[in-house]
Structure 1
Amino acid sequence: MKAARLHAYGDEVIVESVAPPAIGPDEVLVEVKAAALNPLDVKMHAGWMHEVFPVDLPHIIATDLAGIVARVGDRVQRFKPGDHVVGRSDPTRGGAMAGSAAISADHLVPVPAGLSLTDAAGIPTAAGTAWQALVEMAGLGTGQTVLVHAGAGGVGSFAIQFARMAGARVIATASGTGIDIARRLGADQVIDYQTDAFAAVASGVDVVLDTIGGETQRRSFGVLRPGGRLLAISEAPDPALAAAHGVEADFVFHRSSGRRLQAVVDAIVSAGLTVPIDRVVAMDDLAGALRHQASGRARGKIIIAMG
């Protein structure tokens, strides 16, 4: 089968032929039809995440996949060959960017009728992170206001929709074509961060979802109401800054969870939410797709069609 493998941190990812993976008794072999890129893949490619997610090289990249069950382990009862599934592997294992992937049955959920495998592949990490932050950690609800940074990005685009689903008022930052995307997804107010300072526009916010870090994160503390909460996915927030502003601040460390993924898929399907896709490309265009992911300019998810 074809697989996209990293042989050394920072080197080009090589698409090459490898043997299909073996599966354990609690695992499923999935014929991958679509896989998604995430910012984590770029960080792991560069070697920045080695201490958190150590991998054995060569390493088949990516975690998010959708496809068809080819074989199940001896102890797997939930799935059978032919089932359409979506899942997120553990980042240390990766394996999504290949013709077939071995993945724990606990990290897979069925793809319901009406949801394409291409769309399904774009859900696990981005939507799961937004759900974990806003639904599980913040408990966002009616009458609250949330500021979502990079509202047209992978996590941000789902965060806007989940926040609206919860009944919250949504402020999003975006630029260029991302402004219209954020509006279409349901943002009540979109701030063009290239022309307007969000800290001068937004105030009294209940929750900030920081997808950027750095100076954006530091300025975000000032827009929160006393007792508000900042949730960050790109870098851990400074507890001293949080204390100085009288707010809470937490890092969102997303882990693969079949239970969470099932809740997310159910919510997306039942509420008719959008899976925003920037582009769908073939494996032959993977290098360009990785560069686009690294640029930070993707509007939604980048999907690799595996056949």
Structure 2
Amino acid sequence: MIEPRNRVVQLRRYGGPDELEVVDAPLPTAGPGEVRVRVLASGIEYTDTLIRRHLYPQTASRRPPLVMGYDLIGEIDQLGAGVTGFRLGEHVADMTVLGSNVEYRTLQASDLTQVPEGLDAAEAATLVLSWMTAYQLLHRAAQVRRAQRVLVHGAAGAVGQALLVLGGIAGLELWGGAHARHADLIRELGATPIDYQREDFTRVLPGGFDVVFDGIGEDGYRRSFAALKPGGLLCAYGYSAGVQGQRRMLTMLMWIARLYLWRWLPGGRRAFFYSINAMRLRHPTWFIEDLQRLLAMLASGAIRPRVTERISLDDVAEAHRRLETGGLDGKLVLCPDLPSRRNRH
């Protein structure tokens, strides 16, 4: 009898997209307190490219080979001993950081969020990291209030789009920074576009913004901090400018550390760095509550995430290249059941 196998996206060594390969691995078995899921969809994240390049602090101590994949929507196909509250065939969501770009994997039942029936798995997968980051930045970190004036950097990206949509629902007055080609998209999402190449965002709003969300880190967040009004708040959550500028991880960690020193400067402005993993560790129930809320919004039609393309396991390396090139107006989502592009004709 042939032993069932599991195809997984493995990182051979830290480096470029060519270090990713699809390999066969043993089919996992659910242990006590675990479930095994057949993966229906897994987001391909910009964060995955940082992990691949050894620029992500949470995985910096890990040594390849590693199985990639930050999040997933899966269908339970095996229940481990002692698991209650879940059933075979049920769809669930989880954030794993590693190990979700696979056909099958095991998960701790206590970490799972149940997914309402009938939801598109690829759309639901966009919520686990990108939309959750946006929701928690708005409502857990910044605790925004209606009518506040808010600037979103990288507004055309996955988290940026989610910030604009959820910020609009929260009644915020929004500005979105991006390249000029994305101006129509940003207007469609309810914000005033700011063209990075032609406009100085520090001068757009006399008096300054109540809140700035910055996942880019241009100039080590200095200009974002300068764009705040007295008493305003800078929520940093990424450093893509440092990555593109090939800065060392230590340099970017120093940028983050400096944020906390700025609160001692005159003007009462504050800054801090949001990490979805740190917040989940401190408040695990928040993660499930917030994801349930987002899934309910998706089910009701209140939000509709943009899925640019559904891709196969064999096309993950190309997806990483596209993420690093930029210019996408939605999410790339891995669907393991999908055949590779070369086998679709």
TM-score, length-scaled by structure 2: 0.82
Answer yes or no: is 1:79 the counterpart of 2:63: no
1:278–1:301 contact (8 Å) kept in structure 2: yes
After superposing on structure 2, the runs of 4+ consecutive aligned residues of structure 1 that deviate more than 4 Å are 50-53
Q: What is aligned with 1:269? A: 299
**Greater helix content:** 2
Partner of 1:71: helix, strand, or coil?
Answer: strand
- Is 1:174 aligned to 2:178, yes or no? yes
1:122 is paired with a residue whose SS is helix
Q: Does the CA contact (< 8 Å) of 1:29 and 1:71 recur in 2?
A: yes
Cα shift at 1:143: 1.6
Aligned residue number for residue 197 of structure 1: 200
Choose which of 57, 60, 64 in structure 2 pairs with 1:57.
64
What is the letter of the counterpart of residue 239 of structure 1? Y
Please list, as runs of the form range in 1=range in 2, the aligned pairs for 1:90-129 lying within 5 A after superposition.
Answer: 91=97, 94-129=98-133
Confirm or deny that 1:252 pairs with 2:274.
yes
Q: Deviations over 1:176-228 (max 9, x none)?
A: 442222222222x1111122121121343111110101327211112211111
Larger Rg: 2
Identity of aligned residues (%): 30
The one-character-per-residue Cα deviations of 1:100-153 (angstroms, maximum 9, x if unpaired) are 121222332222234200111111111111111111111112121111111110
In the other structure, the counterpart of 1:21 is 28
Tell me the distance in 2 between the aligned counterparts of 1:53 and 1:216.
21
Using the TM superposition, give the Cα deviation of residue 240 of structure 1 relative to its aligned residue in structure 2, in angstroms: 3.8
User: Which ranges in structure 2 are unaligned for 5 or more consecutive residues?
Assistant: 1-5, 240-255, 281-286, 338-345
C-alpha distance in structure 1 between counterparts of 2:272 and 2:200, whole Å: 23
What is the CA deviation profile of residues 211-248 of structure 1, one whole-angstrom value per residue up to 9, with x for unaligned ones? 10132721111221111100001152533444335311
Q: For residues 53 and 261 of structure 1, do their structure 2 counterparts lie closer, same or farther at Cα, with a shift above 3 Å needed?
A: farther
**Which of 16-25 and 128-137 deviates more?**
16-25
* One-letter amino acid of the counterpart of residue 81, structure 2: D
Is contact 2:237-2:274 (8 Å) kept?
A: yes
Q: Matched residues in 1 for 2:169 and 2:140: separation?
A: 14
Q: Is the 8 A contact 1:8 1:58 kept in 2?
A: yes
Aligned to 1:280: 310
- RMSD of Structure 2 on Structure 1 (CA): 2.0
Q: Give the structure-1-normalised TM-score.
A: 0.91
The aligned counterpart of 1:69 is 76
Which runs of 5 or more residues in structure 1 are unaligned? none
